[in-house]
Structure 1
Amino acid sequence: MMMFVHYVNQINELKASCRCFVKSIDAFWNFMAVVRKIFVPLKTVIDKLDEDCLLLQQMRQIIAENSNESMESDDNVDDLETGGFSLKERFDILRCCAVLVNENFYLYSTYQRHYLHIPVQLCGPVIFVLDALIESNLLQRLVTCLSKSKLSINPEIVASMMLIMLTIRPYSLDSTLRRYLWPIRDLISNYVCELADNNDGEVLRDHSVRQLSEHVWTLNRDYISANNALDSAGLSLSLKHLHSHFLAARLTGLHHLCVIINCSDENDAEETSSALAEYILHRKIVQLVFGPNLHVELIKQSHILLNFACLQCILTKSDLDSIWAAALMKHCNRQVLDLLNCTIKCMEYELVDHLYGLLKTLKPSEHNDLTLLLTFTVIKYIWNYKTYDSRRALLKPLVENSAESRFLSVNDIQDIPA
């Protein structure tokens, strides 16, 4: 059985396809029989998962304290025999089960393309894994494991369990999701943030950690719709990615922050939007995006964030100074000025006036077509605002007089001289 487990995991890692198991009906049913046997020990693996993680943590602490021992001791930690399977074999079985229930597995893709004569019962593993998970109470085990073991558990193991959970999610009750899935989502978000703190953000580039982050963000829309509240788990994970030094992580964090903003706008919840605006203002996310390590791709994806900040009136002069400093950089000058041109219509007058003061500091030789266009837009905004303000000041006495005349009595009207 373990040979088959290693075979499946290797195919998944290499992203290879194999047609051997579907070359005939007999071979297909042999494959299904092996798949059945794989899910039999899954209950035992999940039952002992939290104990295994604690045991693994204790053994690594002992080896770390005894620094005189050879490095081979650390390699033998995963080979501890518990309940018939070593720790490494248990984790391999769990990863294999996560692969087998994934409908995008390469073996299944090969089947869908080339062997239509195989019956639709290929989805049978989902039924087997459902029975195993119901008996082993995977959701409760995962909560316990993440609560107690914390950083001792391998991210790849958590990603495998989350993949299994998301696969069986369409077949689960809403009450089960509310009871377990949302707390698990918060725990995983905290788990990834702790991993990033302990590894200076480099762990965010790991494939398993990226999978975990995607699993958390996959449930963004459902979480906001079900709870009608601020998605603190998704926001904290996005903020941790924005603090990273790597462009891919920062792009991912900004993208999912914009997704959360769009979700809050779609639900039309004023309290959620206000809480989100306060979060962005308190964390200074605009300055974080336009601060150090700025890239052109970040500017292209920041228009949703900037428009939301302007509409919620949370864009400050310090934020505008950061954006202006980015506009003075040669590699992103055009993109930032285009972004400012598009968002001026959403800004308050004080911010536009502050931007006008920044434009006046430029020397004539430093101007180009983009700065001149921005200057024209700013002056037009200020002119329209002042014109409207002056007209309102002129019309105010007339409006007040007309309002008073409505409440004059008949005798008062007769007393008015002709």
Structure 2
Amino acid sequence: MCGIVGVYKRKQNPNNIFDITKKVLFSLQHRGQESAGICILKEDKDLFVYKGLGLVNQVFSNITSIDGKIAIGHTRYSTSGSKANIRNAQPITYYYKNSWLAIAHNGNIPNADEIRKILEEEGSIFSTNSDTEVFLHLYVKLKGSFSEISKIIPYAYSIVMLDNNKLLAFRDAYGYRPLFLGISEEFYIFASENSAINQFDFIDEIIEINPGEVYIIENNEIYKEKFAISEKYRFCIFELIYFSRPDSKLFNYQVYKFRKECGKRLALLEDKEIDIVIPVPDSGLASAIGYSQTLNKPLELGLIRNHYSGRSFIQPDNISRKETIRNKLFPIREVIENKRIALIDDSIVRGNTSKEIIKIIRENNAKEIHFRIASPPIVNPCLYGIDMPTKEELIANRMNLEELRKFLNVDSLRYLPMEHLKDVVSENKDNFCYECFLN
């Protein structure tokens, strides 16, 4: 899962393109924390490129404002390629036939290794081990024919590209990953979430790019083409459950309202005596609000989040995740002590984070802990852009409900059943991907 940005400057104005791109990228920081990069096609046709490991504000702390015509940016949460290798940081750039090519990708290409092998046998040379570079090679080989590329790589991608003096943005025909376009007199801005574009008061309109569409901007003109069609979509339900910002709206669902509704439906199943409701901040907050309101039980901030720490799920290894939890969540003993607690979170993936959080609450003398998860058990790895590479890593695949309850050291454990999750997106339930929940 990554955050991508594409910016096209339509006319001269006081806002320089680097500052705009950086602001959008910073608004997508929650989508990736391993590396960040920006490239800008300047007015003299030279390409400025800067990439580094770390957070957006860290990477670009010493960069002064740079202006230009086109920019693309990327914040990385790796699902393919080495995690701590600066070579795999995006955008990936090439100089080809006297012009620049650059690409930034959100998603994952399941057949990338197979395609890479074929391309290498034909003479292609790769500078990274990222699946994104495979797409760039095919783009050159197939002369920019998206319809032909989509036959070889049907999913999963939302991508922004720079091709000489053109900015392109496109989404696979299944729509796994979101992509938006903001329109104003000064700029066209593409981003992974609409909330990253909403921050600018000069934006007149924001639209969600439809699956199988490519937008092309050249010489201040914008047009779109349909390059692929799918009988039904495969929107990633985990975007709504966890990854996207609560103030975003994607797949035609407002994220905060979706999560709150999941919490309401979870509360309707409750059969334990509860004194207070505590969310795991910030991922469980919206669901905890819905749960609390439905049961008419007080919502308490028993865990206070240090907002200067990162998201634990997208840390690159288990040691980093544990360290992040202890540095991120601070308990309030006076809230927790001697209470029967409904602890609400969005999901359990590997189980290490949840176990550490529950340990913190136990250390502060909770009377009972009833762990409530606002999604079904994750039992399958994701091939489409979430870092769950093996079944063995997924704790719900290795343990039944009672075994997991004991492992976590909670008094009871309940997930939101699949049928209830589908009810939340009822009118569109057949257009979502649920593979991570299916045995």
Give the TM-score of the pair, scaled to structure 2.
0.28
* Higher helix residue share: 1
Report 1 or 2 for greater relative contact order, CA contacts < 8 Å, sequence distance ≥ 6: 2
User: 1 or 2, which has the higher strand percentage?
Assistant: 2
TM-score (norm 1): 0.29
Task: Look at both structures and tell me which one has the larger radius of gyration over its CA atoms.
Answer: 1
